[in-house]
Amino acid sequence: MATSPEERDKEAATPSQEAAAPSLIRIILADDHALMRRSLRLLLDSEPDLEVIAEADDLTLVVRHVQGQRPNVLVLDLRMPGGSSVDAIRHLRAQVPSTQVVVLTMDDNPVFAQQALSAGALGFVVKDLADEELPKAVRAAAMGEEWVSPRVRDRLHVMQDSLGEDKLTPRELEVLRLIALGHTSIEIAAKLHLSPRTIETHRTRIHRKLELTTRSELVNYALARGLMKT
């Protein structure tokens, strides 16, 4: 009896003892800059086992392509028009679990890597190293393996250790970072597409969890953990 696309997704998303990448990895490439997409497509298509089957320049098109074509891997710019790329990752991982996600970004701050991985991405690649790193990350993701740019990996592990100790969520960590950088609650709310009241709630939780009372203490905490590096 024929299986539905949803059933095939569930089967593909189930780990096996001998996981292996498909012989041809089908990729959707999402970036809002045409020249960057062209460069990345040439890079990926030059590999014999990789094929870009569609491109997208906003998140609405990303969702449509992934749901319609169900690629092995989505290569997604972390900052795309049309909403939050992190939220899109969560949505697509729930709706199309057979499609793995590799995130591309200009920013090597481990906060962004933590957000992407927590949302369900398997890869995190810094754009200026894409020539070397992106094919590796795509192949790893197609096999269900995590791949993080070595430039970010060590700082990410340090940060994750701090997260475990202080029990901050990825969202609280990003709010902390923006507070430490001097942004107001209104500015943070605009950046994260949240309400100022929600940001104030995050502030209260951060102060309580870290047992810190002043902004200068938060700045010192963020500096000590490398959260303000770009």
Are 87 and 138 in the same domain?
A: yes
Are 93 and 180 in the same domain?
A: no
Boundary (domain end) residue, out of 153, 177, 209: 153
Nearest of 6, 184, 196 to residue 99 by alpha carbon? 6
Q: Is residue 114 part of a domain?
A: yes
| Residue ranges, the chain, pLDDT below 70 | 1-21, 159, 161-166, 226-230
Q: What is the pLDDT of residue 1?
A: 46
Q: What is the pLDDT of residue 163?
A: 60
Q: Is residue 4 part of a domain?
A: no
Are 58 and 112 in the same domain?
A: yes
Number of domain units in the chain: 2
Q: Is residue 158 part of a domain?
A: no
Which CATH number characterizes residue 202's domain?
1.10.10.10
Q: Is residue 74 part of a domain?
A: yes
Q: pTM of the predicted model, to two decimals? A: 0.69
Amino acid in position 127: K
**Count of CB atoms situated within 10 Å of the CB of 173:** 24
Q: What is the pLDDT of residue 16?
A: 40
Q: What is the pLDDT of residue 18?
A: 43
Range of the domain at 57: 23-153
Q: What is the pLDDT of residue 4?
A: 54
Q: What is the pLDDT of residue 134?
A: 97
Q: What is the pLDDT of residue 164?
A: 57
Boundary (domain end) residue, out of 128, 153, 178: 153
Are 92 and 147 in the same domain?
A: yes
Boundary (domain end) residue, out of 153, 188, 215: 153
Which CATH number characterizes residue 35's domain?
3.40.50.2300
Q: Is residue 200 part of a domain?
A: yes
